[in-house]
Structure 1
Amino acid sequence: MKKLGAAAIFLFLACGKRGDPHPPIPIIPQATSDLVVAQRGTKVILSWSYPSLTTAGQKLTAIRRVVVYRYVEELPVTQPPRDPRNLLPGDIDPTVPPPVALFAKVPALGPVQFAKLRQRLDSIEGANLPAATVGARLLYEDDPPFHTSDGRPVRLDYAVSTETSTAQGQVSNLVTIVPLDVPVPPSALAATPKPEGVVLAWKAPTTTVTGVEKPYIIGYNLFRLAQGQTSDVLATPVNTAPVGQTTYTDVPPYGAFEYRVTAVSAAGPPRIESDPSAPVTATFKDLMPPPTPTGLTALVETNGVRLVWDAVEAPDLAGYKVYRTEGSGVPLTFTKPHILFTPQPVLGTNFRDTTVELGIAYFYEVTAVDKSGNESAPAKTDWILVPKTP
């Protein structure tokens, strides 16, 4: 019995013994795969989806920071140095900016090379992530060198990596850009609402941000914001391709909008453009009148004139207005001004005037009106004389 009691006590104590502590399971963020780069003005802008998943496919809840890496490639020095203005045909592509064309002959860095050469540029700490978030994406602005001390262009390579308190994720996809001396913003932007849309017009820049004349411009991008919307530095322009002229007609939904325009040096990717112009506002509403009524006929009846016409096909038709003009004498001359018979548009396609005077001549006009108050050109009758005797 004593042995059994001792064994029971031993088993009881053994059941309460803890093993060696296990380290926490690392939460590894999934690598970013949609990093993009662009240039606006003197800034290089990075954008990528907000990190949301772990490598195990679970929701990522605690981000410590996002690290931004960069490597600055200098254009190799040629032997002997070549003036880009004196390059021979075939040396570089003349349809792209010279710095981009020169780097086209230099092999791009691969992920392995970048991993060896990259430098930690900056980080977005967890507490600062909300301020760096636009919609569902993170944005980071860099103010890098655009050329070497001796004036050679540079190529910039970027990547990002997400960290938690226990692990660092893999480096993102690699993005590359050759920054350019972009134009200053377009000036004198004006927006004029017309029936066919909002007509935008502006003046082309004549210098770059560093003061060089004749900037490289392939076209322009137009950006539209509705009331209450916030500006997105990498928003999609309303035009599908850079606009080649300094005017553009936008056809937005009805409402009030704010417009800006940028001068584009490269359509991309990566997109390279000037800072946006000063904003202008415009309110676009229905300014297109409905069609003119057809088939207008005046029928003289006892003590009156009846007007009939064909219905107008318009989705926002509000009705019709009827006007009368009075005349007398030979030849006929106007004796009373043009008057509106229907302050409120009539809904039907007929109208009877019972205020005519016998022996007086009249002619009538009928217009169509839509719900925005736009009025068509008038349909007119000939002069009608109401006889004094039946």
Structure 2
Amino acid sequence: MKKLLLVALLVGVVAGCGKKGPLIPPEAFQPAPIADLQVAQKEDRLYVSWSAPTVDAAGRALKGLAGFHLYRRVVLPPDQDCESCPNAYQLLKTVDPEYLQDVRRFNNRYVFADSGLKDGTIYQYKVIAFKGDGTESAASNRARWRMVVPPPAPRLQAVATPTGVQLSWEPAAAPGADFLGYNLYRRRSDDIRSLELLTTQPTKERRFEDLRLERGVSYLYLVREVIGVDGESVEGAASNEVRAALAPPE
């Protein structure tokens, strides 16, 4: 009799489970891991950037994203380095999308400028997304960078003509073997969002004539020296800003 009762209970449990469908593992509700973490140097800072996940680990639309934990570690010599050690990474920043503070957001991409870093040191980063209930994603891809001394600021000059603005600059020091050229920027003086790169790639020339100007508009210019480091480019300190506008027609 006891055996019959046990069999009946087991049949009932199996039948009940079958009606509910397959179980979803808890990790499927985690945010999908971030896969596009990047780091780049400009002046004496490292700019760490990543995109927010839009789906969970199971590929469904992500709900409840609450922020990110950004971690950093110092990469040691091979015989001393241990990325998996408990204290290898330190929490650098917790990012709240609703209160960014010193983090900037461009569409769906977040950018944090890491400062106070030492030249010659290799820094490695990872980021973890989390939901409002505390559920965390798996760690992102790793991104690392070796800090170098950035190039010093050039000296920029501008001369306005009726048809354009003639720009010229002088470097603070003789370019080295890693010299790639210069990046020239322009913006409307009253709109920081209008900042644009005028040189599509670093130019080795020390002059540029800007002919794409609107009459009656004042522009601000600056230039930065660019060097190559491990196959990547590093922009140096910004030059002085110069203001210019089209000169009156003659």
TM-score by length of 1: 0.47
1:276 maps to which residue?
Answer: 238
Q: Which AA in structure 2 matches 1:138?
A: Y
Pair 1:185 & 2:153 matched: yes
Paired-residue identity, %: 23
2:123 maps to which residue?
Answer: 156
1:243 maps to which residue?
Answer: 203
Task: Output the aligned Cα RMSD.
Answer: 3.7
Decide whether the 8 Å contact of 2:28 with 2:56 is kept in 1: no
3-state secondary structure, aligned to 1:166: coil
* Alignment partners' CA distance in 2, 1:248 and 1:267: 26
Deviation at 1:181, TM superposition (A): 0.9
Shift of the 143–25 alpha-carbon distance from structure 1 to 2, 3 Å rule, reads closer
Decide whether the 8 Å contact of 1:27 with 1:166 is kept in 2: no
Q: Which AA in structure 2 matches 1:252?
A: R
* Alignment partners' CA distance in 1, 2:233 and 2:115: 16
1:266 maps to which residue?
Answer: 228
Q: Which has the larger radius of gyration?
A: 1
User: Which structure's relative contact order is higher, taking Cα pairs within 8 Å and 6+ residues apart?
Assistant: 2
2:90 maps to which residue?
Answer: 120
Decide whether the 8 Å contact of 1:199 with 1:250 is kept in 2: yes
1:68 maps to which residue?
Answer: 70
* Alignment partners' CA distance in 2, 1:231 and 1:135: 11
* Alignment partners' CA distance in 1, 2:153 and 2:38: 23
Q: Which AA in structure 2 matches 1:283?
A: A
2:100 maps to which residue?
Answer: 129
Decide whether the 8 Å contact of 2:28 with 2:58 is kept in 1: no
Q: Which AA in structure 2 matches 1:122?
A: L
3-state secondary structure, aligned to 1:68: strand
1:220 maps to which residue?
Answer: 182
Pair 1:252 & 2:212 matched: yes
3-state secondary structure, aligned to 1:206: coil
Aligned with 1:41 (options 43, 51, 73)? 43
Deviation at 1:244, TM superposition (A): 0.9
* Alignment partners' CA distance in 2, 1:129 and 1:25: 27
Deviation at 1:141, TM superposition (A): 1.6
Aligned with 1:205 (options 153, 172, 189)? 172
1:29 maps to which residue?
Answer: 31
Q: Which AA in structure 2 matches 1:123?
A: K
1:333 maps to which residue?
Answer: none
Decide whether the 8 Å contact of 2:128 with 2:136 is kept in 1: yes
TM-score by length of 2: 0.69
* Alignment partners' CA distance in 2, 1:256 and 1:269: 37
* Alignment partners' CA distance in 1, 2:165 and 2:34: 39
2:56 maps to which residue?
Answer: 54
Between Structure 1 and Structure 2, how many residues are aligned? 219
Q: Which AA in structure 2 matches 1:202?
A: W
Pair 1:139 & 2:104 matched: no
* Alignment partners' CA distance in 1, 2:127 and 2:236: 25
1:325 maps to which residue?
Answer: none
3-state secondary structure, aligned to 1:271: strand
- Unaligned runs of 5+ residues in structure 1 are 1-23, 78-108, 148-152, 208-212, 288-373, 376-390
Decide whether the 8 Å contact of 2:178 with 2:229 is kept in 1: no
Shift of the 203–32 alpha-carbon distance from structure 1 to 2, 3 Å rule, reads same
Which piece of structure 1 moves more, 246-255 or 213-222? Answer: 213-222
Q: Which AA in structure 2 matches 1:263?
A: E
Decide whether the 8 Å contact of 2:95 with 2:103 is kept in 1: no
* Alignment partners' CA distance in 2, 1:132 and 1:63: 17
